[in-house]
């Protein structure tokens, strides 16, 4: 386990930007993606980059690295992930002249403690509602008329994802002039983001009831639903992680663009009054911080032109995507939110694999998979 910092500056002697990584930044890992994104964004802005490496993944080693960054007068440190929440909490307090951007995490004193974002720290994430919107829009444009979604606990993250999905379905149905109730969305808030056979059971029931595609919120739920999709030979969409390589039934994914997020962070830091310290900032389609991971040759009707056109409408302000909870559809789109089917099926023999021929145990029980 290691931590590394990449710094960029307007000369070799005056570094200005830093990215901190934890875990082994192996090719394809999110840490590696963030590092590459910040280094590229820094280069595009005309800065030089270099890397600092902590001796190990202990609090003391990380503190030493942050102290070194402070001693070398780095102006902005960019950190990634939940594992950096506690180190950044300490650093934002101990090295106050540095500005911090924590991607996909929020500083806290200890695990389970309340969030504390000081005014020298910005918490950056890709817009969940924008990712959901692209998923819903693409699904309906591609021909789906009975889409479903499975999210976990009904919290801010999942409400944003699911609300965006509903808005995307509505936008596509309106654009296509579909008839009344032409699209029916079935939504499930399962109460848990963990990897569990219950989500496979929920997906099997939704497919059995007529869902023609399921949008999953998060990698854990995506893995479980992907098992059901493989059994039923039906497509699914994953929000937040690209599962196409590991599951052929993943039609496409919507994921953060870390290069877009990094560029937006540096852009906002450059402005005298644009660094939004003390806030959670959601960078979306307007900031080129959301991506559709897709092979258009696999689509029935959706084209890249369709997606380019709707992105242009969002960037122009013609389409505004709300982060609020969405509880209704439209004339063309009906919406029903149901309890998890697995809840009512609890106690039934073989609930997770009744019509799949698979035991529940075939779904991996690795709850360490990142949401």
How much is the average pLDDT of 4-15?
45
Beta bridge partners of 21: 4
* pLDDT exceeds cutoff 60 at 24: no
In the chain, where the domains are located: 3-118, 128-256+288-362
Give the per-residue pLDDT at 2. Answer: 34
Confidence of residue 28 (pLDDT cuts 50, 70, 90): low
> Which of 87-96, 288-297, 333-342, 350-359 is least confident?
350-359
Q: d(Cα 3, Cα 24) in Å, to the nearest integer?
A: 8
Average pLDDT over residues 144-153: 97
Give the CATH number of domain 128-256+288-362; options: 3.40.50.2300, 3.30.70.2970, 3.20.20.10, 3.30.70.890.
3.40.50.2300
Distance of alpha carbon 283 from alpha carbon 301, whole angstroms: 29
Confidence of residue 41 (pLDDT cuts 50, 70, 90): confident
Confidence band, pLDDT 50/70/90 cuts, at residue 31: confident
pLDDT at 38: 83
85: left (phi over 0), alpha (psi -120 to 50) or beta: alpha
- Residue 9: pLDDT over 60: no
What CA–CA distance (Å, rounded) separates 21 from 39?
Answer: 12
As beta bridge partners, residue 53 has 4
Is the model's pLDDT at 198 over the cut of 50?
A: yes
Distance CA 187, CA 183 (A): 13
Instruction: Note the pLDDT of residue 26.
Output: 59
Q: Is the pLDDT confidence value at 33 over 50?
A: yes
Instruction: For residue 112, give every residue at least 6 positions away whose Cβ sits within 8 Å of its Cβ, in sequence order, or none.
Output: none
Is the confidence at residue 4, as pLDDT, over 80? no
Q: Is the dihedral of CA 267, 273, 274, 279 positive or negative?
A: positive
The strand pairing partners of 335, in sequence order, are 185
Distance CA 89, CA 112 (A): 13
Lowest mean pLDDT among 79-88, 140-149, 234-243, 249-258: 79-88
User: Which range among 74-78, 91-95, 358-362 has the greatest average pLDDT?
Assistant: 91-95
Q: 9: which strand partners?
A: 15, 48
Q: SS in 3 state form for the chain?
A: CCEEEEEEEEECCEEEEEEEEECCCCCCCHHHHHHHHHHHHHHHCCCEEEEEECCCCCHHHHHHHHHHHHHCCCCEEEEECHHHHHHHHHHHHHCCCCEEEEECCCCECCCCCCECCCCCEEEEEECHHHHHHHHHHHHHHCCCCCEEEEECCCCHHHHHHHHHHHHHHHHHHHHCCCCCCCEEEEEEECCCCCCCHHHHHHHHHHHHCCCCEEEEECHHHHHHHHHHHHHHCCCEEEECCCCCCCCCCEEEEEEECHHHHHHHHHHHHHCCCCCCCCEEEEECHHHCCEEEECCHHHCCCCCHHHHHHHHHHHHHCCCCCCCCCCCCCCCCEEEEEECCHHHHHCCCCCCCCCCCCCCHHHCCCCCCCCC
Between residues 305 and 112, the one the model is more confident about? 305
pLDDT at 206: 98
Name the token pair of 103. Answer: 């991607």
Tokens encoding 56: 């190990």
What band does 43 get if pLDDT is binned at 50, 70 and 90?
Answer: confident
Whether 3-118 and 128-256+288-362 share one fold: the answer is yes
Q: Give the residue with greater pLDDT, 43 vs 320.
A: 320
pLDDT at 47 exceeding the cut of 90: no
Say if CB 260 and CB 290 are below 8 A apart: yes
Rounded to 5 degrees, φ, ψ at 136 are -65, -45
Chain segment 316-360, per-residue pLDDT in tens: 999 999 999 999 999 999 999 999 999 876 544 444 443 433 334
CATH ID of 3-118, from 3.40.50.920, 3.10.150.10, 3.40.50.720, 3.40.50.2300: 3.40.50.2300
Q: What's the predicted TM-score (pTM) here?
A: 0.86
């Amino acid at each position: 386990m290691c931590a590394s910092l990449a710094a960029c500056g307007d000369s070799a002697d005056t570094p200005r930007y830093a990215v901190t990584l934890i875990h082994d930044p192996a090719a394809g890992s999110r840490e590696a993606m963030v590092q590459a994104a910040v280094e590229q964004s820094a280069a595009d802005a005309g800065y030089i980059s270099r890397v600092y490496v902590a001796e190990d993944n202990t609090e003391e080693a990380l503190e030493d690295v942050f102290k070194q960054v402070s001693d070398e007068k780095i102006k902005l440190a960019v950190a990634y992930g939940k594992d950096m929440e506690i180190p950044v909490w300490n650093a934002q307090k101990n090295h106050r002249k540095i500005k911090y951007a924590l991607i996909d995490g929020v500083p806290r004193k200890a695990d389970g403690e309340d969030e504390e974002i000081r005014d020298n720290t910005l918490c950056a994430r890709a817009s969940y509602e924008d990712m959901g919107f692209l998923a819903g829009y693409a699904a309906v444009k591609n021909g789906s008329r009975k889409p479903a979604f499975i999210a976990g606990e009904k919290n801010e993250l999942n409400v944003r994802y699911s609300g965006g999905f509903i808005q995307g379905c509505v936008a596509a149905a309106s654009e296509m002039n579909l008839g009344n109730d032409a699209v029916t969305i079935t939504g499930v808030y399962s109460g848990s983001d963990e990897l569990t056979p219950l989500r496979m059971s929920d997906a099997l029931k939704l497919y059995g009831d007529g869902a023609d595609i399921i949008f999953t919120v998060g990698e854990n739920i995506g893995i479980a639903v992907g098992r059901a999709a493989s059994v039923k030979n039906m497509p699914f969409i994953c929000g937040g992680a690209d599962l196409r390589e590991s599951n052929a039934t993943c039609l496409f994914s919507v994921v953060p663009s870390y290069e877009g997020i990094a560029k937006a962070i540096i852009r906002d830091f450059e402005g005298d009054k644009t660094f939004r310290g003390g806030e959670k900032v959601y960078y979306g389609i307007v900031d080129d911080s959301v991506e559709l991971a897709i092979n258009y040759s696999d689509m029935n009707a959706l084209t890249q032109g369709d997606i380019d056109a709707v992105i242009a409408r969002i960037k122009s302000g013609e389409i505004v995507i709300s982060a609020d909870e969405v509880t209704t559809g439209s004339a063309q789109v009906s919406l029903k939110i149901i309890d998890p089917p697995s809840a009512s099926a609890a106690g039934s023999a073989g609930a997770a694999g009744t019509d799949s021929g698979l035991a529940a145990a075939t779904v991996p029980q690795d709850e360490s998979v990142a949401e």
